Amino acid sequence: MPMAFDDEFAPLYTVGQVAGMLGVQAPFLRRIDVEDVVRPARSDGGQRRYSRADIALVQRVSDMAGEGMTLAGIRRILELEAEVADLQRQLADAQRRGNAKGRSS
């Protein structure tokens, strides 16, 4: 059975830990949450908890912000990337269904 720390989506890290790992300020992490750019999980006590996947995303956001992009612009880029990924999944599913239908005919 895999351990929680083996799961890249397990919310294990606190704001302070992530800030230290990435060299960002804790208020930056809170702001990107409030601005709906990166939404970490919450502990039972309501504290933010970040997964490794969240941390990688925070690093990307930090890099883009460092290049002068606004949080609204960054959020829009991430939304569009998610839409593209969803459309790619839909296309792949449709192609698989088409291939399966072609084989059964």
How far, in Å, CA of 38 to CA of 52, rounded? 12
The backbone region for 90, taken as left when phi is positive above 0, alpha when psi lies in -120 to 50, beta otherwise, is: alpha
Give this prediction's pTM. 0.84
The residue among 96 and 6 whose pLDDT is bigger is 96
Q: What are the E-state strand segments in 20-86? A: 41-42, 48-49
Catalogue all structural domains in the chain, each as residue range(s) with its CATH number.
Answer: 4-104 (1.10.1660.10)
User: Per residue in 33-76, pLDDT tens?
Assistant: 999 999 999 999 999 999 999 999 999 999 999 999 999 999 99
Mean pLDDT score across all residues of the chain: 94
